[in-house]
Amino acid sequence: MALINLTGDAFNATVDTDDIIILDFWANWCGPCKMFGPVFEAAAAKHPDITFAKIDTEAEHDLAAHFNIRSIPTLMVLKNRTLVFNQAGAMSAGQFEQLIAAVRELDVAAELARQEAGQG
């Protein structure tokens, strides 16, 4: 997909059509957000099959509230409409690439079945 600025109006359509979506909740005044921005953008260029979505918490209050964002940057990953990762704080490029690789390998249906069986 690409690097997009995601709004509340486009959120559901994006989630419904894209397999993997990485959400970066940020704000312009946030120093760690500015440091993580180039890492996020480089990963988006390297992985064009994944949607990398930046959500400006100052402009998208409803989305930030919906996801209970308390500190930024916060990174969330949705795979097949399921939240599979949620962490506040910036990551190094290496850590981010490890996360992307793990998400690619994750079988969401099998993991959910395992959790429902009480093995999680």
The catalytic residue positions are 30, 33
User: Phi then psi for 112, rounded to 5 degrees?
Assistant: -65, -40
User: Phi then psi for 79, rounded to 5 degrees?
Assistant: -130, 125
E strand segments, 35-92: 51-56, 74-79, 82-88
Q: Can you tell me the distance from the alpha carbon of 6 to that of 60, in angstroms, rounded to the nearest whole number? A: 9
Exposure class string for 56-69: b at 16+ Cβ within 10 A, else e:
bbeebeebbeebeb
